[in-house]
Chain A
């Protein structure tokens, strides 16, 4: 193998593969991710698909990099466009330094579509696939040869990854794909892109142990690791992988994961399981989350522990099922009829999903109330490299439980006993001496239905005050950037990586900024309010139309005069560069306003 040392070392590339749904964009991206991970790089991927199996524009993006990054970058290195629409839909992400590999089976790419000076490699992948293999299906494997060479990957390692990926699907499929890859590599030679002469040199580091995982899988394992043993769900994008992962793994350790007939059954079956003292979780999204509201309120009032994963997608109603949004915040914090306690945690990366899921499982058991994990489609489904989870550091705390021997020592066992910390000890069905009543009706300490006004006040206060007690141990926000930075950022979920990178860019542009990533959004903890206090203004970046997070913070005492909103609800994830542009626009508007106000005085 020849190697040219003049090529730059690959430190940060972003690749988009786009075509029609079913073209295999996601497969190409996933294989690229595996290849780069094997070369010791970290990766982050993103998908942009429609809610259908075939057809319609579909794209996937992968970023491979050294060091730590948590989003797709601002600059796209290479676009593999399997048709013209792929160029039209993604041109906005390209600049003059980008490279386009284009399938020109259907004709050349219209020149005005691409930024000036862009490097274009065109080849008829589709036509070659049809001519040689009689199947359009193989065009992405042919194109892989060209893209792999351009990115500096070695032929042999590409073959290995192909073998690993397609072996599962049978020998025939593997052979066809390897043949197609061979055609692609041959084609690359013809185009003058020889092995070892790509755009980059990949410095093979000893790969650190990294999992290649999506947030939904990670959340499933956090739950399992914290003793979670019962899960129910109904398939819904983008939460289905939580169900699929747990259906595969939970039964192995004696747990149960069940697909129910609807979300009403899912939440109520979970409640039934939780009543037996089993650690239980449900996962859903959008419409399913709305359907679960009654059950979640019941879990709050009957004091039945429950973890609810909400993989937020674009709403309302059926909305845009495959697009990320953060518009269920109001429903998580204020949803359900009546007053009941709840906790809302929010991870910013697939890695954090594991730890917060474990913590949510502990908290639900301890405080006997619903605990949400607020995800968004990107956190749920983007694939990222993640350090193996720290199981030794994982705290598994149990709630207040009474066994037979404990019960024997008691004069009386009351399921809803009023206690100093407002948490009533729990005896699981099957335990002698622990017979008790659980109900969502207002009840007395025994669990017997009661409308007595004084009892009502005591019981309501008991439930609501549990959250005050929980405050001390809820996950704190993480702070990044310059602690003296004038402007601040607050954002959750997938925006974590984007804001983190945006403040770096701002810093290079001379604007000192700091970022607070809340990991608990209900109750609102003091750390968020203190952060707002010390910044001169704070951009609350959110994926929704109503600025739900900003309003929540104002409701909890934040100075509304300091908060500026950057909102997005078009279904497209932010790139750091775009966010920076939006910030500068807002900044100049802000400065103009200041001047105008100063003049008016």
Chain B
């Protein structure tokens, strides 16, 4: 469906991914979810980082932006604050989000803007030929460090509102999670963080390993994603058991960034007409304050 020519805008190109790459599932599910949620292509801003996953915007009809390495989140926040009426989706890999861009991830959890962030986690740097990434386990190549878990990082920050993990090998569940993420941001509830386990078939094929280790919390009746303490405990336990929790891990409430700082008595920044005296009465007040 993406290779059909469009008359007026760019033709989404074929993905550059290797056959069997988990990212295909992510793309397919994202397109499906956007339809499910009724997001029109012209209202979608899809921003992506650098890496294999950072090309997804070329393959979907949207306003697409290719960010600098590690900087997709600040760019996405800027777009959302300037025009809160857009559906803003950021996408990238685990290197982009958890290594070079880790600082921004922490502050996006903290500030809670209503944007969806999809991290395609393949636990290595595929595009640069398989170096260890922040989520690579101890012993992968020469990696001496323990891999990090961004869901646990999110759980540790008091303002997080949506944390989920999907698996490209389970697209049905991934679609539900993606729908929920888009619903969360679409209704202005804040930051939806969705990590997708997306194996790299070329440099680090974890498909079988991950399939064996995933633990679906959505099917665990004793689990309650609105309970942060419980969620943290379960994630930690499962990790210690060598399992990888997937599903809706946490959903909470906190004011979204745009609801706190965009003045909705006026048109949002991007929708204001640029012209003479656009500042009007405010300018007069300003002048007075400096006249003393």
Which residues in A have some Cβ–Cβ distance to B below 8 Å?
34, 37-38, 164, 209-213, 217, 221, 224-225, 227, 229-230, 232, 249, 251-256, 258, 260-262, 264-266, 268-280, 294-295, 298, 302, 365, 388-389, 391, 394, 396, 398, 407, 410-415, 428-441, 446-449
Given contacts A275-B45, A414-B10, A431-B42, contact A268 B290 (CB under 8 A): no
Chain B residues within 8 Å of A446, by CB: 10-11
Given contacts A278-B270, A430-B42, A449-B55, 20 further A-B contacts (CB under 8 A): A37-B292, A211-B287, A230-B82, A252-B282, A252-B285, A254-B262, A254-B265, A255-B269, A266-B74, A269-B78, A272-B82, A273-B81, A275-B65, A276-B79, A294-B68, A388-B291, A391-B277, A394-B276, A436-B63, A440-B66
| Cα A258 to Cα B78 with chains together (Å) | 9
**A–B pairs, 15, beta carbons within 8 Å:** A211-B291, A224-B279, A224-B283, A229-B82, A229-B269, A251-B263, A262-B103, A264-B70, A268-B68, A272-B77, A274-B82, A276-B45, A432-B42, A437-B65, A449-B66
Contact present for B83 and A447 (CB under 8 Å)? no
9 tightest A-B contacts by CB? A272-B78, A254-B266, A272-B75, A439-B66, A269-B78, A429-B63, A229-B269, A273-B82, A273-B78
Contact present for A232 and B66 (CB under 8 Å)? no
Beta-carbon nearest neighbor of A446 in chain B: B10
Say yes or no: is B85 at the interface (Cβ < 8 Å to chain A). yes
Chain A residues within 8 Å of B67, by CB: 268, 271
Contact present for B82 and A437 (CB under 8 Å)? no
| Cα A404 to Cα B67 with chains together (Å) | 26
Chain B residues within 8 Å of A268, by CB: 67-68, 71, 74-75, 78
Q: Contact flags (1/0) for B104-123 with A, using CB distance below 8 Å?
A: 10110000000000000000
Beta-carbon nearest neighbor of A260 in chain B: B74
In the complex, which of the residues B47, B75, B81 has the most CB atoms of chain A within 10 Å of its own CB atom? B75
Contact present for A269 and B74 (CB under 8 Å)? yes
Contact present for B42 and A213 (CB under 8 Å)? no
Contact present for A437 and B57 (CB under 8 Å)? yes
Contact present for A438 and B275 (CB under 8 Å)? no
Instruction: Determine how close the nearest CB of chain B comes to the CB of A429; give it in whole angstroms.
Output: 4
Q: Contact flags (1/0) for B38-79 with A, using CB distance below 8 Å?
A: 001111010100000001011001111111101100111111
Given contacts A211-B287, A273-B78, contact A254 B269 (CB under 8 A): yes
Chain A residues within 8 Å of B83, by CB: 276, 278, 428-430
Contact present for B78 and A436 (CB under 8 Å)? no
Instruction: Determine how close the nearest CB of chain B comes to the CB of A443; give it in whole angstroms.
Output: 9
Contact present for A410 and B8 (CB under 8 Å)? yes
Contact present for A213 and B269 (CB under 8 Å)? no
| Cα A230 to Cα B268 with chains together (Å) | 10
Contact present for A448 and B262 (CB under 8 Å)? no
Contact present for A436 and B104 (CB under 8 Å)? no
Contact present for B279 and A253 (CB under 8 Å)? yes
| Cα A211 to Cα B290 with chains together (Å) | 5
Beta-carbon nearest neighbor of A386 in chain B: B290
Contact present for B77 and A269 (CB under 8 Å)? yes
Given contacts A278-B83, A429-B79, contact A210 B269 (CB under 8 A): no
Contact present for A264 and B71 (CB under 8 Å)? yes
Chain A residues within 8 Å of B6, by CB: 435
Given contacts A254-B267, A255-B269, A272-B47, contact A448 B292 (CB under 8 A): no
Contact present for A252 and B263 (CB under 8 Å)? yes
Instruction: Determine how close the nearest CB of chain B comes to the CB of A437; give it in whole angstroms.
Output: 5
| Cα A256 to Cα B262 with chains together (Å) | 6
Q: Which of A252, A273, A294 contacts B79 (CB 8 A)?
A: A273
Instruction: Determine how close the nearest CB of chain B comes to the CB of A350; give it in whole angstroms.
Output: 11
Q: Contact flags (1/0) for B237-279 with A, using CB distance below 8 Å?
A: 0000000000000000000000001110111111010111111
Say yes or no: is B13 at the interface (Cβ < 8 Å to chain A). yes
| Cα A270 to Cα B79 with chains together (Å) | 8
Say yes or no: is B86 at the interface (Cβ < 8 Å to chain A). yes
Contact present for A225 and B66 (CB under 8 Å)? no
Say yes or no: is B7 at the interface (Cβ < 8 Å to chain A). yes
Chain A residues within 8 Å of B277, by CB: 391
Instruction: Determine how close the nearest CB of chain A comes to the CB of B285; give it in whole angstroms.
Output: 8
Contact present for A434 and B9 (CB under 8 Å)? yes
Contact present for B81 and A253 (CB under 8 Å)? no
Contact present for A433 and B42 (CB under 8 Å)? yes
In the complex, which of the residues A34, A252, A432 has the most CB atoms of chain B within 10 Å of its own CB atom? A252
In the complex, which of the residues B83, B86, B274 has the most CB atoms of chain A within 10 Å of its own CB atom? B274
| Cα A294 to Cα B68 with chains together (Å) | 8
Chain A residues within 8 Å of B41, by CB: 435
Beta-carbon nearest neighbor of A262 in chain B: B103
Beta-carbon nearest neighbor of A428 in chain B: B270
Beta-carbon nearest neighbor of A388 in chain B: B287
Instruction: Determine how close the nearest CB of chain A comes to the CB of B8; give it in whole angstroms.
Output: 5
Say yes or no: is B222 at the interface (Cβ < 8 Å to chain A). no
Chain A residues within 8 Å of B103, by CB: 261-262, 264-265
Instruction: Determine how close the nearest CB of chain A comes to the CB of B233; give it in whole angstroms.
Output: 29
In the complex, which of the residues A210, A212, A252, A268 has the most CB atoms of chain B within 10 Å of its own CB atom? A268
Contact present for B279 and A232 (CB under 8 Å)? no
Contact present for B57 and A265 (CB under 8 Å)? no
Contact present for B68 and A295 (CB under 8 Å)? yes
Contact present for A435 and B58 (CB under 8 Å)? no
| Cα A208 to Cα B42 with chains together (Å) | 52
| Cα A302 to Cα B47 with chains together (Å) | 14
Q: Which of B64, B85, B279 contacts A430 (CB 8 A)?
A: B85
Say yes or no: is B280 at the interface (Cβ < 8 Å to chain A). yes
Contact present for A253 and B291 (CB under 8 Å)? no
| Cα A5 to Cα B112 with chains together (Å) | 68
Q: Which of A164, A212, A388, A447 contacts B64 (CB 8 A)?
A: A447
Q: Which of B10, B71, B269 contacts A256 (CB 8 A)?
A: B269
Chain A residues within 8 Å of B75, by CB: 268-269, 271-272, 275
Chain A residues within 8 Å of B13, by CB: 448
Q: Which of B10, B63, B261, B291 contacts A210 (CB 8 A)?
A: B291
